[in-house]
């Protein structure tokens, strides 16, 4: 068989992907295969439907996307602290000093590209008048448009099991509880991995009282406390 019969024209200039698990090579990036994302969405909500809990956790924006809710700047605080802080700085300061435009640089398969957040965004400067629009557009790109194809396929799998209108009676915290259940909170592990700021330390009297209070709580209340602090239930 000739090489031309096997390989497409220009093959030597293309990127191919090797799947070591399934022992096959593809021209398509397996991370974008529709069946895989749809299967993950289907499996996740089949587990919830059958009352089998998932031993995983998802960030709050994931649940909000399932519920069709807008992702806000406040959702970013525990997801990406540096991203959150930079947008808070923009919100509180003069946008003209930062010389921003409605576009961002992003690496796509090793290639640096400029992505416009709105139509002709590369020609629109961020001002004090439009900086809230810029913040909304940047969050939408980072957590929605950037993974739109993958999320669309995952949602397709989810809604095959439970129609979207039935899920939207829940808020994000309730949906997390439905999918992942109530986890056992290990206070010793939590305490051992806590970082203190603002002059506090493990021996501070306030911290001592705090952990005494946590130990007095039921596991359900501890989980609610963790969710309040981290927006994740475990």
- Please give the model's pTM, rounded to 2 decimal places: 0.58
Report the C-alpha gap between 167 and 155 in whole angstroms: 12
Average pLDDT of the residues in 36-60: 53
The alpha carbon torsion through 232, 140, 179, 213 (nearest 10 deg) reads 10
Q: Per-residue pLDDT averaged across 7-29, rounded?
A: 50
First to last CA, the chain: 56
Identify which has the larger pLDDT, 223 or 90.
90
Q: Does 55 have pLDDT greater than 60? A: no
Q: Which residues pair with 108 in a beta bridge?
A: 111
Residue 118 has pLDDT above 70, yes or no: yes
**pLDDT for res 27:** 46
Residue partners of 157: CB distance under 8 A and separation at least 6: 37, 38, 39, 40, 41, 42, 43, 44, 45
Q: Is 179 in contact with 48 (CB distance < 8 Å)?
A: yes
pLDDT of residue 60: 82
Residue 63 and residue 174: Cα distance in Å, rounded?
10
């Amino acid at each position: 068989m000739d090489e031309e019969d096997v390989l497409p024209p220009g093959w030597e200039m293309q990127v191919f992907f090797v799947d070591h698990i399934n022992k096959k090579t593809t021209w398509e990036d397996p991370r974008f295969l529709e069946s895989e994302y749809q299967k993950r969405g289907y499996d996740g909500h089949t587990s919830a439907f059958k009352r089998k809990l998932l031993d995983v956790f998802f960030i709050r924006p994931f649940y909000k996307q399932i519920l069709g809710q807008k992702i806000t700047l406040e959702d970013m605080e525990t997801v990406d602290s540096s991203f959150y802080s930079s947008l808070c700085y923009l919100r509180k300061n003069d946008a003209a000093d930062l010389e921003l435009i409605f576009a961002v640089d992003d690496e796509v398969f090793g290639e640096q590209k400029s992505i416009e957040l709105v139509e002709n965004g590369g020609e629109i400067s961020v001002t004090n008048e439009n900086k809230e629009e810029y913040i909304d557009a940047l969050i939408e790109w980072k957590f929605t448009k950037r993974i739109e194809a993958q999320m669309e396929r995952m949602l397709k799998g989810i809604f095959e099991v439970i129609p979207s209108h039935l899920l939207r009676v829940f808020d994000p915290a309730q949906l997390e509880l439905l999918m992942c259940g109530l986890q056992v909170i290990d206070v010793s592990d939590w305490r051992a991995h806590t970082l203190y700021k603002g002059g506090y330390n493990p021996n501070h009297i306030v911290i001592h009282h705090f952990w005494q209070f946590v130990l007095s709580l039921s596991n359900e209340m501890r989980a609610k406390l963790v969710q309040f602090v981290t927006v994740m239930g475990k």
